[in-house]
C-alpha cells in the first residue's frame, strides 16, 4: 500500500477545510444507543453498501490465516522480521492513518478491519486482538449481533479463556434473548420505492422501458429536501438521471459538486451531512498517493458514470472513494466487475473527478 508520509500528519491538523474540523470533533454515540441519524430512520448501517457481509469477513480471516499459517508460534513474532523494510514502513503508515480515522469514527468497522490486517501482517498479535474486540464492539453498538458474535468467536479460537470476550458474549446472549422478533420485511415499514421515471412522449414499439435502479436519489432527496437543507426545485435542477444505454463521454460530476457549482450548497456542508447520515469515513484524497494503475484495472464506464475511484488495495480488499455513499447501483456494478471485497470512503468530489480524469484520459 502506497501513501505519502505526510498524510497522517495532515489528517491530524486542518487541511484548510471545515470537514477536517468536523471529523476531529466526532464522538462516540451514547453507550448502547444508536446514532441519531439511524434513530430517525434515515439509514441503518446494514442498509449502506459499505457494510461488510459475513462472507467477506470470513474471506478476510482466511486470507490472513493462510498468509501466517506457515509461521511458528502463537504470536507470529517472526512476521515483522520477514517483511521487507519498505513493506514494514508502508504498513506502519497504514496503521497510523487508519488509527486516526477510527478515533474519529469508532463505528467504522471497515477501517478497523484494515487496521487488524495490517497489525496481523506485522505480527503484532496483541493489537490484532484489541482491534478485533473494537470491531465486535462496533457491531454490537450498531445492532449487528450475529457479526459481533462471529468476531468474538474468532478471538476465542486463539484465546479461549479471554474474560472480556466471554463476558461480552454473555451480554450479547442476554440482549438477544430480550429482543423482540424482527417483523417480516414486508411488515417492517420499509421505505417506499422511488417513483418510476416518466415515460417519454413516444417510444419505439420494440424498445423495453428503462430498468429501475437505486442510484441513491431517494435517500439523498430525503436527506437534503425533506430535512429542508435545499428545496425540491434545487434538487431537481442539480440531479442528473443516468443514461445506462450509452457509455459516458467523461466523468459525471457528483450531485453535491453540482450543488456547489450552482451556488446552492457548499461541498463542505454537503460532506458533513453525508458523513452524518451514512457514517462513511471521510478520507482526504489530496493527501493520499492514489494508485492510478489500480483504478485503470476497473471498467472506465462504471467509474466515470458513478464518479467512483478505486484508489488502493489492502490484501484482497479494494478501497473505493465516492461522493454518494447511498449509490447501491454503483456498488453492484463495481462488485460485478471484479471479485475483490470493496471498502468505501467519502471523498471530495473535485478530487474524485481530477483523479478519474488522470486514470482514464
CATH number, domain with residue 126: 1.25.40
Strands (E), 257-297: none
Do 129 and 272 sit in the same domain of this protein? no
pLDDT of residue 48: 35
The yes-or-no verdict on residue 59 having pLDDT over 80 is: no
Set of cell numbers at residue 333: 456494478
240-298: pLDDT as tens digits: 988 888 999 899 999 999 999 999 999 999 999 998 888 788 888 988 889 999 999 99
CATH code for the domain of 292: 3.30.300.160
In a domain, 98, yes or no: yes
The number of domains in the chain is 2
The verdict on residue 146 lying in a domain is yes
Cα separation, 285 vs 215, whole angstroms: 23
Let me know whether 171 and 222 are in one domain.
no
> Which contacts (CB < 8 Å, 24+ apart) does range 122-129 have?
122/79, 122/80, 122/83, 122/88, 122/91, 122/92, 122/95, 123/68, 123/71, 123/75, 123/76, 123/77, 123/78, 123/79, 123/80, 124/80, 125/74, 125/75, 125/76, 129/155, 129/158, 129/159, 129/162
Most confident of 11-15, 83-87, 340-344: 340-344
Residue 196 located in a structural domain: no
| CA 135 – CA 142 distance, rounded (Å) | 11
Last residue of a domain, one of 178, 200, 235: 178
- Structure confidence by residue, pLDDT tens digits, 8-39: 434 433 333 333 333 333 323 333 333 333 22
pLDDT at 239 over 50: yes
Residue 251 CA from chain centroid, whole number: 21
pTM of the complete model: 0.57
- Classify each residue of 203-227 as buried b or exposed e, where b means 16 or more C-beta atoms within 10 Å of its C-beta: eeeeeeeeeebbbbbebbbbbbbee
CB 118 within 8 A of CB 68: no
Kindly state whether residue 143 falls inside one of the protein's structural domains.
Answer: yes
Q: Are residues 167 and 238 in the same domain?
A: no
Phi, psi of 292 (to 5 degrees): -65, -30
Domain span holding position 348: 217-359
Amino acid at each position: 500500500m502506497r501513501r505519502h508520509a505526510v498524510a497522517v500528519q495532515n489528517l491530524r491538523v486542518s487541511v484548510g477545510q471545515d470537514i477536517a474540523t468536523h471529523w476531529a470533533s466526532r464522538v462516540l454515540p451514547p453507550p448502547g444507543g444508536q446514532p441519531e441519524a439511524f434513530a430517525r430512520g434515515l439509514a441503518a448501517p446494514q442498509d449502506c453498501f459499505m457494510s461488510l457481509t459475513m462472507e467477506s469477513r470470513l474471506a478476510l480471516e482466511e486470507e490472513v490465516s493462510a498468509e501466517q499459517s506457515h509461521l511458528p508460534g502463537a504470536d507470529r513474532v517472526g512476521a515483522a522480521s520477514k517483511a521487507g523494510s519498505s513493506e514494514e514502513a508502508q504498513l506502519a503508515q497504514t496503521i497510523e492513518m487508519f488509527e486516526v480515522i477510527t478515533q474519529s469514527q469508532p463505528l467504522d468497522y471497515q477501517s478497523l478491519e484494515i487496521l487488524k490486517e495490517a497489525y496481523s501482517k506485522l505480527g503484532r498479535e496483541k493489537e490484532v486482538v484489541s482491534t478485533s474486540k473494537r470491531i465486535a464492539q462496533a457491531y454490537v453498538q450498531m445492532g449487528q449481533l450475529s457479526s459481533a458474535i462471529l468476531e468474538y468467536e474468532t478471538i476465542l479460537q486463539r484465546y479461549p479463556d479471554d474474560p472480556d470476550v466471554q463476558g461480552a458474549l454473555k451480554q450479547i446472549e442476554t440482549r438477544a434473548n430480550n429482543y423482540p422478533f424482527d417483523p417480516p420485511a414486508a411488515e417492517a415499514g420499509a421505505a417506499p420505492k422511488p417513483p418510476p421515471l416518466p415515460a417519454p412522449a413516444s417510444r419505439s414499439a420494440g424498445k423495453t422501458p428503462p430498468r429501475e435502479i437505486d442510484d441513491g436519489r431517494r435517500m439523498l432527496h430525503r436527506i437534503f429536501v425533506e430535512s429542508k437543507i435545499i428545496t425540491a426545485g434545487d434538487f431537481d435542477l442539480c440531479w442528473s438521471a443516468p443514461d445506462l444505454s450509452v457509455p459516458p463521454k467523461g466523468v459525471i460530476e457528483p450531485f453535491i459538486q453540482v450543488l456547489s457549482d450552482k451556488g446552492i450548497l457548499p461541498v463542505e456542508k454537503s460532506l458533513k451531512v453525508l458523513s452524518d447520515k451514512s457514517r462513511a469515513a471521510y478520507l482526504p484524497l489530496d493527501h493520499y498517493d492514489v494508485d492510478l494503475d489500480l483504478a485503470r484495472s476497473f471498467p472506465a464506464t462504471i467509474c466515470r458514470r458513478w464518479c467512483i475511484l478505486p484508489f488502493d488495495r489492502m490484501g484482497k480488499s479494494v478501497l473505493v472513494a465516492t461522493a454518494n455513499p447511498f449509490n447501491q447501483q454503483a456498488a453492484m456494478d463495481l462488485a460485478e466487475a471484479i471479485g475483490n471485497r470493496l471498502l468505501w470512503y467519502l471523498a471530495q468530489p473535485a478530487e474524485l473527478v481530477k483523479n478519474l480524469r488522470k486514470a482514464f484520459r
